[in-house]
Amino acid sequence: SEPGVIAFYSASDIPGVNSYIAAPNIFALQNEELFCSGEVKYYDQPIGVIVAECESIAHKAASLVKVEYTNVRKPVIDIKEAKKDPDKYAVFATLPAVQTGPNTTKVIIGEDTVYSQYPFTMETFACVSYPTEEGIRMVATTQWLDMVQQATSRALKMEENR
């Protein structure tokens, strides 16, 4: 309890689906946790959100939060190592070759790994939401507006057009 703090919301407070993506869809087969519900799924996964009268109070309250972790393991930061654990990824589709095409000149066998994180600097997303009489007004910096709308609708259990 801290003066100026209105509430703390965690996974158990989400009335709908605890996911920031509306799965299944063309890019994701399964839900991705918005707030940690027990086991930490990735580095810096949020455990909740603090609602306060102003940003400085929220930051102060956040600094007072204490989290204890158990079964802490060494982080896997190499994609080649992460690929060895089937729990770390989901295969979207596999299309085995059934025959060689009539105009094939070369057969390429191997693998490719994308180590660059170049697009991260271009995807500094943010969202500001305002309650309205009709529902929520959201201003989101995203390339996937309909997904923001769908995921919000599912998490809050409200119609997408609200």
pLDDT digits (tens, 9 = 90+) for 37-81: 999 988 889 999 999 999 999 999 999 999 999 999 888 888 788
Quick one: average pLDDT of 122-150? Answer: 88
Q: What is the pLDDT of residue 118?
A: 67
Q: What is the pLDDT of residue 124?
A: 77
Between 104 and 5, the more confident residue is 5
Cα–Cα dist 11/36, whole Å: 6
Which segments within the chain are labelled E, that is strand? 5-9, 49-52, 127-131, 136-140
Q: Which residues contact 45 (CB under 8 A, 6 or more apart)?
A: 33, 35, 36
pLDDT over 90 for what percent of the chain? 45
pLDDT digits (tens, 9 = 90+) for 98-128: 887 888 888 888 877 666 666 667 777 888 9
Peptide bond into 24 cis (omega under 30): yes
pTM: 0.74
Q: What is the pLDDT of residue 162?
A: 83
Q: Residues 20-27: contacts with CB within 8 Å, 24+ apart? A: 20/151, 20/155, 21/147, 21/151, 22/147, 22/150, 22/151, 22/153, 22/154, 25/147
* Alpha helices by DSSP H, 10-91: 55-64, 79-82
**HSE on the CB side for 90, CA within 13 Å?**
11
